[in-house]
Chains A and B, each alone.
Chain A
Amino acid sequence: MYRIVRKKRLNPTVTMMDIEAPAVARKAQAGQFIILRVNEEGERIPLTVAGFDRDEGTVKIIFQVVGATTMLLDRKEEGEYITDFVGPLGVPTHTEGMKKVCVVGGGVGCAIALPVAQKLSAQGCEVHSIVGFREKDLVILQEEFEACSAKLTLMTDDGSCGRKGLVTEPLKEALEAGEDYDCIIAIGPLVMMKFVVATAKPFGTKIVVSMNPVMIDGTGMCGGCRLTVGGVTKFACVDGPDFDGYLVDFDEAISRSAQYREMETAAREKTCNLFKKEGAN
């Protein structure tokens, strides 16, 4: 059992938790992920590491309440326990030798982009961050990004906070202005990453994307997380989650990500009704 040491709601649908898991905290690095189960009957879900405190022995996770499992997790309070927490899994984000990097984060993906930006900044790299959200109320981690970025551009779809528009716009401007990034690291929804790649392509800047497909074990066993990268089948859990953005077949990944959508929606509704009933009693 793993204790929830801290819990904080970052916005109406995004929650942060520090989980006591010393063995994972000892090894975790930016870009890696964990797999958790909330309870004995629960499903295994992967969440990317959003931070860690090796001295305290805790790992930070930030998640959006999108399905039945994240809904259950969100109901857990400080001091309560979750059943399983395993990791760190996957290959850490490669940051060695980078001098100037553009980190692009979208929505809750910013939670994963943050430790990467922090790691780069700590090693003396000049970090330009572009973070995008749907609207003002959904903005998270703004101060944290400010602290580790030489330049931060905040975007919202409706212009209610920061600039109005998509993250690809300031990226395109920066590249057109001749910013010579060693790398662009994009983390967010599949569609966003697809368009960030398309934006960068004419400039040929190296681009790394973080993939987060459906998986069960996270150790290479099920093959459910497979992607086509450069025409070859790769497993996100052991070969990734980071891949060369130019080589990822995004359309296929987008199609595969919908495999369980109907069932996930049904499960979410069922859980939601259950909670409503409990609330009524």
Chain B
Amino acid sequence: MPTRDPKERARDFFEVTTGYTMEMALNEAARCLDCKNSPCVSGCPVGVHIPDFIRELKKGDAESAYRVISLSSSLPAVCGRVCPQESQCESKCVRGIKNEPVAIGRLERFVADYHNENCTEAPVLPEKNGHKVAVVGSGPSGLTCAGDLARKGYEVTVFEALHEAGGVLIYGIPEFRLPKAIVKKEVETLKALGVKIEKNTVVGRTITVDELFEEGYEAIFLGSGAGLPRFMGIPGEQLKGVFSANEYLTRTNLMKAYKQDSATPMIRGGKVAVVGGGNVAMDAARTALRLGAEEVYIVYRRSMDELPARKEEVEHAIEEGVKFYLLQNPVEILGYQNPDDRRDPQNGWVKGMKVIRMELGEPDEKGRRRPVEIPGSEYELEVDTVIMSIGTSPNPLLKQTTPGLETTRHGCIVVKEEDCSTSKQGVYAGGDAVTGAATVILAMGAGKSAAKAMDEYITNK
């Protein structure tokens, strides 16, 4: 897919990829073999009828293709951009055996964007069935669950803690990868279906799960995500200039620090180290570049082969100038302290990071080779901002305030895999709140299964 020049895009927040033209989309669609057993569909967590939508597109009817996708997905313009298609639908494509698989994700994005730009028709409102359901959290799992239930005729209310709907799509994933206007549009589509969104409501504090039942909600979906950032527990982590990736990205995305006239203070420029190798680490590193950093390093304890981020994101980061310091791990963050002046404003700010080199040892329980420190290999990396991107845990608030809700020792909500039901009757859960940090599409898949189970639960009550 066409992307903008890395030199130009690495300094602004406009979208990196520019999308297909109709002609490009038709050419790519023509490559689909329309296999009888549609293996691609089995690779999609929400089961989009892929060959069906491509068939409509081949006819030149993008709007009809959109209707096919929206039968299964509430967020097509989002999925077309952030799904790891290479390990899902596209990995099953027969074309991919000898050649490049059909670019399903890019076609999905084209179809969704076409619809958003050209369609002015109001959606057909489903007939109400008289039942009330609540969804906690407006991220990918919550929005999917809400959309599916609204289409079945439920009166759906989504409760969101922040001042904007979208969850990680708004606060986490940067503008240059997923423009916020697109997320807003998808949310508007759900609102048009009758979904109500109550912002500024922290379930567990403003209102509890039990109180939602008292207010007449018959079933509740918990999609509160995994927002609690982890830190390494090494010395110096509380110095000024050390951030969690969540804080760094939230300031930039939700609070719009990327705009020059933003009210949100943000540390710009300098030398930035991002610790971690996931998609969030790539997002933070590329955001740092765009905020004006001179140098940005990814410091990751394993090698390129184990890097958990999507290949495309890593390639984009390298093209844009992010440097990869692999098989290395920080042991201490070093701060500046003027010995002669306690009031020196530089005191307490990051001035470097002590890093140790690693090698790969025996495989761990997951089969990934465990990184082992090489004794005596420490060195000092000069940086003035450190961004910790080593993972997040589920938010503990619902666990603390919902009696009868079982969680694992890591704080993940325990559910039955087949129907997303929790230990509490009428309460369902999905997304990162259950799995720990994972992908948008897996969360959407869970939201979808939960919606189906909630419908059955209420129907059979």
Q: In whole Å, how far is A160's beta carbon from the nearest beta carbon of chain B?
A: 28
Decide: B247 and A84 in contact? CB cutoff 8 A.
Answer: no
Closest A-B pairs by Cβ, 3 of them: A263-B265, A255-B348, A222-B247
Q: Assess the A86–B161 pair: CB atoms within 8 A.
A: yes
Contacts of A69 in B (CB 8 A): 263
Q: Is the CB of B200 within 8 A of A219?
A: no
Do B202 and A216 have beta carbons less than 8 Å apart? no
Name the segment of B78-86, B181-189, B230-238 touching the other chain.
B230-238
The answer to whether B431 has its CB under 8 Å from any CB of chain A is: no
B425 within 8 A of A: no
A217 engages B397 (CB within 8 Å): no
Query: What are 17 A-B contacts defined by CB distance under 8 Å?
Result: A27-B206, A43-B264, A68-B263, A69-B263, A83-B163, A86-B202, A86-B206, A87-B202, A87-B206, A217-B227, A221-B250, A223-B229, A223-B243, A224-B247, A238-B397, A249-B238, A258-B240
Say whether A199 faces chain B, with CB atoms less than 8 Å apart: no
Tell me if B162 and A217 are in contact (CB < 8 A). yes
Residues of B participating in the A interface, judged by any CB pair closer than 8 Å = 161-163, 171, 199-202, 205-207, 227-229, 231, 233, 237-238, 240-241, 243-244, 246-247, 250-251, 254-256, 262-266, 345, 347-348, 395-397
Q: How far is the CA of A221 from the CA of B432 in the complex (A)?
A: 13
Given contacts A219-B202, A221-B229, contact A37 B163 (CB under 8 A): yes
Q: Is the CB of B201 within 8 A of A86?
A: yes
Main secondary structure of the interface of A (DSSP, over half): mixed
Give Cα A240 to B63, complex, Å: 51
Once the chains are docked, how many angstroms separate the CA of A226 from the CA of B163? Answer: 22
**Inter-chain contacts of A217 with B (CB < 8 A):** 161-162, 171, 227, 250
Chain B nearest CB, measured from A244 CB (Å): 18
Q: Given A216-B250, A223-B246, 14 more contacts at CB 8 Å? A: A43-B263, A43-B265, A44-B163, A87-B205, A89-B202, A217-B250, A219-B161, A221-B250, A222-B251, A224-B243, A224-B247, A255-B348, A259-B240, A260-B265
Partner of A220, one of B233, B238, B255, B397: B397
Over the window 241-275 of chain A, the binary record of Cβ atoms lying under 8 Å from chain B Cβ atoms (1 yes, 0 no) is 00000000100100110111011100100000000
A223, B391: Cα distance in complex, Å: 13
CB of B206 within 8 A of CB of A267, answer no
B227 touches A216 (CB 8 A): no
